[in-house]
Amino acid sequence: MSIVSEENNIELRTRIEFKESVPHIIKYMGSKRDLVKYLVDSINEIYDGEVVCDLFAGTSVLSGAIGHNIVMYSNDIQQYSSVFAKTYLGNYDWKEYPDLAEAIIENAQIHVDNVKNLYPDFEFNYTEGITLNEFNALEQQQQELIYFNFEDIENHLFLKNYSGTYWSFEQCLWIDAIRTAAEEYLETPVYFPILSSLMFAMAYNAQSTGHYAQYRDANNLYSMNSIIGCRNKKIKPYFKRKLKELIQFTGSNELNHNISSLDYRDCLDILPNGTLVYADPPYSFVHYSRFYHALETLVKYDYPTIQYKGRYRNDRHQSPFCKRTEVVGAFTEMFEKVLQKRLKLVLSYSNTGMIGLSEILEIAKNTLNNKFEVYTKEVDYLHSTMGRFDDKSREVKEYLLIAKPI
């Protein structure tokens, strides 16, 4: 439904319509994919045609669901999130890029062939009947490539930093190769679906549980065979499948979207007064930058200094929402900016979060000074934990705190 403003003759939507089947890109802890209808229905309770901001966008699934018919501000301090947002919100004329997936793979193959010609001794084969000791020796040989100087190859970041960890040498070779081929499209909108498709392939080839907090070790034959199953997967078909799916989902989009990689406070500062903000801050003490550092590195491709077994970036973002000493202040600053700019707010939080709903509600009411209508809702929800065994998901209550200027 829409109305036309008589004052400026601009059509304003009074209810946001959403797409239910948004192609997913990565496995993501705490993804709101299954809650999109509930979230959009809740946003519609206070929506009057203004711009909508997804303040902690993560996988940017909200942009994928509603960005075809309303103007979005999509923000997340992690740069990989902006790639997802630009993928979903991009304006494409796919007729200009016939057979794009095949063209990318053809260019990537040139890189793969070049590496193999330069380093013919780098063969790491998981042969049938391999023993546990032989397997671990093979993994160790790949992991030690972090000390190798790939001076003859310009793009070798994943080969050097991640071979034998989350991915095999062969998988890392193809990650670097497709990332190299993507650069030909750097100045075009299709650059972002290409990177998104590569991140999908990485997620579904990795031997970890869906994130990159730590890769698995083979301590017995069961874990060895499980890892070998992952090692034998191929980056190329996963990449091609996802890119073709994203091409089918996306198309023309001429809305003036804004996509940023800012601290949440800086993003709130640049929003137009009266913007409707959906905020889904981190809930737990574990920083998302620990879980998804490899995606950040893929996007930046900046050869960072890496640390510890997990091979984390040494510049990982630390969210105040993940620190017990800072979380109250983080919420307070958010509500202060909501008050200052008379923003509408739909805030997601969990009953397993760093602080309770009652405390958040108290902060909101004390900060907003009776100048806002504030109420809460809740829904039972199966939260993805990315666990390996019995704890892959957990029943939680998803709270919504909704604040609207009076």
Whether 14 is covered by a domain: the verdict is: yes
Q: 3-class DSSP state for residue 33?
A: helix
- pLDDT on residue 33: 83
Domain end position, chosen among 249, 266, 297: 249
Q: Do 10 and 86 have their domain in common? A: yes
Q: Do 125 and 265 have their domain in common? A: no
Q: Do 51 and 24 have their domain in common? A: yes
- C-alpha angle with apex 173: 169 to 174, nearest 5 degrees? 125
Q: Do 49 and 150 have their domain in common? A: no
Regarding predicted confidence, which is higher, 241 or 32? 241
Residue 178 · residue 102 · CB < 8 Å: no
Whether 310 is covered by a domain: the verdict is: no
Domain end position, chosen among 249, 270, 299: 249
- pLDDT on residue 27: 87
Whether 69 is covered by a domain: the verdict is: yes
Q: Do 157 and 81 have their domain in common? A: no
Q: Do 209 and 262 have their domain in common? A: no
Q: What is the pLDDT of residues 81-126, one digit of tens each?
A: 999 999 999 999 999 999 999 999 999 999 999 999 999 999 999 9
Residue 111 · residue 170 · CB < 8 Å: no
Q: What is the pLDDT of residues 5-33, one digit of tens each?
A: 334 333 455 799 999 899 999 988 767 88
pLDDT band, residue 2 (cuts 50/70/90): very low
- pLDDT on residue 344: 98
Q: Based on DSSP, count helices (H) and strands (E) in the chain, helices before strands.
A: 15, 11
The predicted model scores a pTM of 0.91
Query: Rounded to whole angstroms, how far apart are CA atoms 197 and 192?
Result: 8
Whether 142 is covered by a domain: the verdict is: yes
Q: Do 127 and 192 have their domain in common? A: yes
pLDDT band, residue 317 (cuts 50/70/90): confident
Q: What is the count of structural domains for the chain?
A: 2
Q: Do 100 and 184 have their domain in common? A: yes
Q: Do 11 and 108 have their domain in common? A: no
166, pLDDT greater than 90: yes
- pLDDT on residue 3: 42
Query: Which residue range(s) make up the domain with 104?
Result: 94-249
Angle between helices 191-205 and 79-89 (to 10 degrees): 120
Whether 287 is covered by a domain: the verdict is: no
- Other CB atoms closer than 10 Å to residue 89's CB: what's the count? 23
- Which amino acid makes up residue 257? H
pLDDT band, residue 56 (cuts 50/70/90): very high
283, pLDDT greater than 70: yes
1, pLDDT greater than 80: no
pLDDT band, residue 171 (cuts 50/70/90): very high
Residue 365 sits in a domain whose CATH number is 3.40.50.150
Q: Are strands 52-54 and 276-279 parallel, antiparallel or unpaired?
A: parallel
270 burial level (CB within 10 Å; 0-12, 13-18, 19+): middle
- Other CB atoms closer than 10 Å to residue 324's CB: what's the count? 9
- pLDDT on residue 14: 76
DSSP annotation of 326 reads T
Residue 46, C-beta contacts closer than 8 angstroms, at least 6 positions apart: 276, 344, 346, 402, 404
Q: Do 159 and 22 have their domain in common? A: no
Query: Rounded to whole angstroms, how far apart are CA atoms 294 and 342?
Result: 37
Q: Do 137 and 219 have their domain in common? A: yes
Q: Do 157 and 244 have their domain in common? A: yes
Q: What is the pLDDT of residues 325-344, one digit of tens each?
A: 999 999 999 999 999 999 99
